[in-house]
């Protein structure tokens, strides 16, 4: 049975479910390392994607715009693991991992900004 993601945002889920050291490890090792036990199995990454897909695609769109990419797909092919994507399920898995990693980077950046003030 897949993990149930109850929080309204990815950030809220990460803050409620990952320890600070785990968040830093996600940035260093990536989700493919298995550091986030709730995002190891396809059933779980699929559930994560389904819960947060609007937020994921908004983040992708914003990043593609910020990086000057001509499309979101041009951005996605730059992701680590994109060459292994051969199905819709694998794409959703890749995007779930990317979104978790992206939000972890955001959380760490916010903490560093607060500490610098």
- pLDDT for the residue numbered 114: 82
Residue among 80, 93, 115 at smallest CA distance from 38 = 93
Return the half-sphere exposure (C-beta side, CA atoms, 13 A cut-off) of residue 74. Answer: 10
- Position 1 scores a pLDDT of 83
| pTM, entire model | 0.93
pLDDT in tens, 21-65: 999 999 999 999 999 999 999 999 999 999 999 999 999 999 999
Q: Look at residue 79 in the predicted model and tell me its pLDDT.
A: 93
Within 10 angstroms of residue 32's Cβ, the number of other Cβ atoms is: 16
Residue 8 backbone zone (phi > 0: left; psi -120 to 50: alpha; other: beta): alpha
Q: Are 10 and 38 in contact (CB under 8 A)?
A: no
Confidence at residue 33, expressed as pLDDT on a 0 to 100 scale:
94
Nearest to 13 by CA among 43, 49, 63, 58: 49
Percent above pLDDT 70 for the chain = 100
């Amino acid at each position: 049975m897949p993990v149930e993601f109850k929080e309204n945002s990815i950030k809220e889920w990460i803050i409620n479910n990952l320890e600070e050291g785990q968040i830093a490890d996600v940035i260093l090792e990536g989700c493919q390392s298995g550091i986030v036990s709730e995002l190891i199995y396809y059933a779980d990454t699929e559930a994560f994607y389904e819960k947060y897909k609007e937020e994921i695609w908004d983040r992708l769109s914003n990043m593609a715009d910020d990086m000057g990419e001509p499309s979101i797909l041009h951005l996605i092919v730059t992701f680590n693991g994109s060459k292994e994507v051969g199905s819709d399920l694998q794409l959703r898995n890749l995007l779930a991992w990317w979104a978790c990693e992206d939000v972890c980077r955001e959380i760490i950046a916010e903490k560093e900004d607060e500490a610098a003030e």
